[in-house]
Amino acid sequence: MTDKIKLIVDALDSKKAIDIKVLKIADLTVLTEYFVIANGTSTTQVKSLAEEVEFKLQEAKEDVKLEGKAQDWQLIDAGDVIVHIFTPDAREHYNLEKLWADAEEISIEE
């Protein structure tokens, strides 16, 4: 796991994100190298999670853009890592894990 991914996962975990997953998609697309996917319990928590990730990345001097600002799905573009933060219903609806089923899941248990 890269330092950037660890920073993102730690930021999400510190704000009680649910079901954090890291998918390595570099072999499947030219868009980015990794997706970090998580969800909050409400639109308020989704916004808070996105703000925390954005803050921690900026603090670490990483280039970051908060792209998606929908209430139920926030997307953060950090170059080689794209972070998706959903409400539970939106995560189930978009089901990125199924869409990117061929991706390698990276363990965050460290």
Average per-residue pLDDT in the chain? 93
pTM: 0.93
**Are 40 and 87 spatial neighbours (Cβ–Cβ below 8 Å)?**
yes
- pLDDT > 70: percent of the chain: 97
Find where tokens 């796991």 sit.
1
Q: At residue 51, does pLDDT exceed 90?
A: yes
**Are 12 and 108 spatial neighbours (Cβ–Cβ below 8 Å)?**
no
Q: At residue 110, does pLDDT exceed 80?
A: no
- pLDDT > 90: percent of the chain: 85
Domain range annotation of the chain: 3-103
Q: Work out the angle between the directed axes of helices 3-14 and 43-59 (0-180°, nearest 10).
A: 140
pLDDT digits over 3-37, tens only?
999 999 999 999 999 999 999 999 999 889 999 99
CATH superfamily of 3-103: Beta Polymerase, domain 2 (3.30.460.10)
